[in-house]
A and B are shown apart, each in its own frame.
Chain A
């Protein structure tokens, strides 16, 4: 479950792979899937049917659910095929004569302990202020940003300079910030929210010039 919830799940690609195929296996066959995963500037429409078994693929549903449904199709439960919509559990217990939503006093027949399909694959909510990877990435990128800032300031300090040298680090930081804002969804999907925080917040651009460097 926890490994499934990672953001870098290869099933996130635009092309849904048939179950049993590894991405590396199919990468040389399908033009839509490159070596790096599913990078394609002109994305091919997702496969609607498995070319091997010629059966419909359930796109967007996890493999566990598909296997489970296949198992249910082979060994059908008594009434699951009769009523595809399950009787809902009681919404309130105020009316004890009709505790179930369809008006009966008996529990539904086909309440079986089946697993619910996976909810949306959202990462578990974290507190970024108490999150160690976030802090580590902030440390890393702030070190890099500080070195870059000092280096750029030293590089562009010369006699007869047109503008103050800090404009270079400020511009570079704002460019990086703009890229991060534009790529925010991809960044968060690929490296988590800590990467977005680290890249956007870490290499800070100073608002002022250090007095000795001007």
Chain B
């Protein structure tokens, strides 16, 4: 669920449910109180068997799954990026066929550009408010996608190189700073929001189970908002622009910080309470 879907590696639902009787808070964490009786089912064995995979056969498919996700995501994204760039520069180098007189009329284009998306969004909002019979998860996802995109777009102001013209940089930092801080922040923010939503969907609260609309909103936050806030295409483009070790460092940094955020949120709420249940019927 986190960066490059490490969820199979870390927080697989079924595997965590198996450990529910063994984990009651941080005091019983195995590195404090080592107990070898059920060590195979405890978290420490799982953490350790990250490094010695032969110890726990249960973890092996999960680790392999996470690694497969990572490798497939990266390789296919890079392949697609380079394929698209190759096609657009070598085989279809010109967009001139699109400049038909109707399409390039300035006022018509500008009016359509501004009005059509806003009308579409308003229509979707009205449908979502008025229609209370159908499943609203898809509608809510679509409605929550634009805020995520706009937030990510505004987070690019954290990039020091973003400027509309050389004399007036629009970024918050003038020259110094991490060149890809905006995308990194967006991805980590999306990971945090997704982890929180994941926890809220599964952690039984004091008020009982969540209502249907709340569950739909949580699912829509995961699908729409987090899906739009996080990006792999910009990530890949930025890595591709970097040369040498910086790209590898950026990639590994995003990966590791994503893991840490999810372990902090999901694992923290897991270890604090009595595990996960089903607040929503998933």
Contact = CB atoms under 8 A, between A and B. Distances in A.
A190 B98 contact: yes
Contacts of A179: 84-85, 87-88
Contacts of B138: 150
Interface string B1-28: 1111101000001000000000000000
Given A174-B236, A181-B81, A210-B223, 4 more contacts: A136-B114, A163-B72, A194-B113, A211-B1
A81 B97 CA distance: 44
Interface of A: 3, 6, 8, 10, 23-24, 34-41, 125-129, 132-143, 145-147, 149-150, 163-164, 166-167, 170-183, 186-187, 190-191, 194, 197, 200-202, 204-214
Contacts of B232: 170, 173-174, 205-207
B185 to A, nearest CB: 13
A133 to B, nearest CB: 5
Given A150-B141, A177-B237, A208 B3 contact: yes
18 contacts: A8-B106, A24-B101, A36-B99, A38-B96, A136-B115, A136-B117, A140-B120, A142-B146, A146-B223, A163-B72, A171-B76, A174-B76, A177-B81, A177-B236, A186-B95, A204-B234, A207-B190, A211-B198
A39 B97 CA distance: 6
A142 B231 contact: no
A174 B201 CA distance: 30
B7 A214 contact: yes
B214 interface: no
B80 A208 contact: no
A174 B80 CA distance: 5
B228 A176 contact: no
Contacts of A129: 153-154, 157, 170
A213 B219 CA distance: 10
Contacts of B79: 171, 174
Given A143-B121, A212-B219, A138 B191 contact: no
B88 A183 contact: yes
Contacts of B81: 174-175, 177-178, 181
Contacts of B243: none
B145 A208 contact: no
Nearest to A182: B88
A150 B237 CA distance: 23
Contact of B164 (A126, A140, A206): A126
A146 B170 contact: no
Given A178-B83, A181-B85, A214-B5, A138 B142 contact: no
Given A143-B146, A194-B113, A164 B5 contact: yes
B72 A167 contact: yes
B84 A177 contact: yes
Contacts of A40: 96
A212 B101 CA distance: 46
B5 A208 contact: yes
Contacts of A136: 113-118
Nearest to B236: A174
A139 B150 contact: yes
B152 interface: yes
Contacts of B148: 142, 204
B226 interface: yes
B114 A205 contact: no
A175 B154 contact: no
A140 B117 contact: yes
Nearest to B165: A125
Given A138-B150, A177-B237, A201-B149, A171 B80 contact: yes
Contact of B149 (A127, A138, A183): A138
Interface in B211-234: 219, 222-224, 226-234
Nearest to B117: A140
Contacts of B49: none
A170 B106 contact: no
Given A36-B98, A208-B194, A177 B234 contact: yes
B237 A181 contact: yes
Contacts of A206: 190, 226-228, 230-232
Given A38-B96, A137-B113, A186-B96, A205 B233 contact: yes
Nearest to B168: A125
A209 B1 contact: yes
Interface in B68-91: 68-69, 72-73, 76-89
B282 interface: yes
